[in-house]
Amino acid sequence: MQQVHFISPSEALKDIFKCYHYVELKTERAQQNTGSIIQDGLSEFGFIKEHDISIISNGNPMILPQSFLIGKVEMPSKFVIPTTMHYLAIKIQPWATSFFFNNGRTSILDLSKTSYSNVEALHNSIFNSSTLEEKVKQIENFFLDKALPHPKTYEISKAICNYIYEKQGVIKIKTLLDKFPYSRQKLNQIFFEQTKNSIKEFSVYTRLRAIMSYRMEHPEESLTSITYKFGYFDQSHFIKDMKRVTGVTPSDFSKSSNLFFDQLIK
């Protein structure tokens, strides 16, 4: 059994959280259910019902806490799911990253050891709720009662992110310099301080996700043709970025009908 659901945040939180997604997996293939993690430049809050889900990052295994904040993990990384997983994730808008990772984008933080020390009650309410809508309501009530970043603090990085999304990651820094009254160095500094990604790095993540989405919608088209449409005229460059961001080679990607889902149940 596999179920994946997505829901958008309320108006009050849409500038802080990009989306909520809830995953239920159940399999009889004990100890064989793994899924590669695909970098997207976003951090997320994660809540897991089970006690035995682990993550292997660059060869180093660790059991995940039941409530955590996950930032940039070393690649290759993958989840190991013994038999079942009930996982609710809150994707953080890229421009709000620094508010939650003010000392750097640490890979995994146990929320019970942070200022969210009362998160156990939230975890219980999430998995005691019978519908996704009820789970999301519990989450939103929890965070609306907490301090959140002010829109003025991230308006520049938000504008840059939205421009990168609009162009599907295919951008030129010169165009950004024409849009914002800053030097290249200053613009990159502002963006990195708030998103914990360089502009170039975030653009690569966005472009590769766009390629994956396009390929899912046009499976009949060759991957080479698709990558040309997204500005990859040097195939060795694309192969290098693909392997670094997704942990899989383009040939493995070509064999997958839905890498977004296969990253959880390969």
Give tens-digit pLDDT for 13-57: 999 999 999 988 876 654 444 556 778 889 999 999 999 988 888
For residue 261, is pLDDT > 80? no
Tell me how far apart the alpha carbons of residues 60 and 127 are, in angstroms, rounded to a whole number. Answer: 29
pLDDT per position as a tens digit, 46-75? 999 999 988 888 778 889 999 999 988 777
Q: Helix, strand or coil for residue 175?
A: helix
**Residue 79 belongs to what H/E stretch?**
strand 77-81
The residues spanned by each domain of the chain are 2-144
Predicted confidence band at 255 (pLDDT cuts at 50, 70, 90)? low
- Report the distance separating Cα 78 and Cα 83, nearest Å: 15
Using the structure block, give the residue that is written with the tokens 């994660």. 46
pLDDT at 264: 37
Indicate if the pLDDT at residue 94 is higher than 90: yes
Taking the C-alpha atoms of residue 172 and residue 162, their distance in angstroms, rounded to an integer, is 14
Phi, psi of 193 (to 5 degrees): -60, -35
CATH 3.30.70.1380 fits 2-144, yes or no: no
